[in-house]
Amino acid sequence: MTNRHLIALNKRRVADLTLLVLLAGIASLYCFDAARASTHIYNLIMVLPLSIAIFILCTVQFVAVLRSESIEAEEAREPTGALPVIVLFSLYVLSLNWLGFDVGTAMFVGVFLWVHGERRWPWLIGYSVVFAFVLTFFFSQMLPYPMPMLLPGLANAYPF
């Protein structure tokens, strides 16, 4: 086994083990939160057995990962190239309250296109603006509740 393989193996193990600890930890936290709210059987009838089962299975898997030596799965693992998309998508969702669905969507689509290599400005701006307008208009007409918007004029109008 080469040094590169050993480093990959260790990285993968650490990530796998961290995720297992997180899952077991969150399940336990949830169980304690539920028990603190009420120890009545109606409250814990599912939460308690599920949390215990998750904790046990995570522990078994933890030991299995510690003992395993295979690094084959590393080849098939999702690459981290998706991170820019995740960051952009997170910013889009978290900014909806301030930017509104209209401007927020146009900016998200425009920036996404630019990041993914679209350099034809008329296409880039045209598509993002038209797409955002059509989508915003359609949903604002269809939904019976107000949507956050930055631009005036796209206010909700319930059709019936």
Q: Are 149 and 102 spatial neighbours (Cβ–Cβ below 8 Å)?
A: yes
Nearer to other proteins, 6 or 53 (CB): 53
Q: For the CA atoms of the chain, what is the radius of gyration? A: 24
Q: Does 120 help bind other proteins (rule: CB under 8 A)?
A: no
| CB within 8 Å of 108: residues ≥ 6 apart | 88, 89, 91, 92
Question: Which residues, 6+ apart, have CB-to-CB distance to 9 below 8 Å?
Answer: 1, 69, 71, 74
Q: Is 129 in the site for other proteins (CB under 8 A)?
A: no
- Chain contacts with other proteins (rule: CB under 8 A): 15-16, 19, 23, 27, 30, 33-34, 37-38, 40-43, 45-47, 50-51, 53-54, 57-58, 60-61, 64, 73, 76-79, 81-82, 85-86, 89-90, 92-94, 96-97, 101, 105, 108-109, 112-113, 116-118, 127, 131-132, 135-136, 139, 142-143, 145, 147-148, 159-160
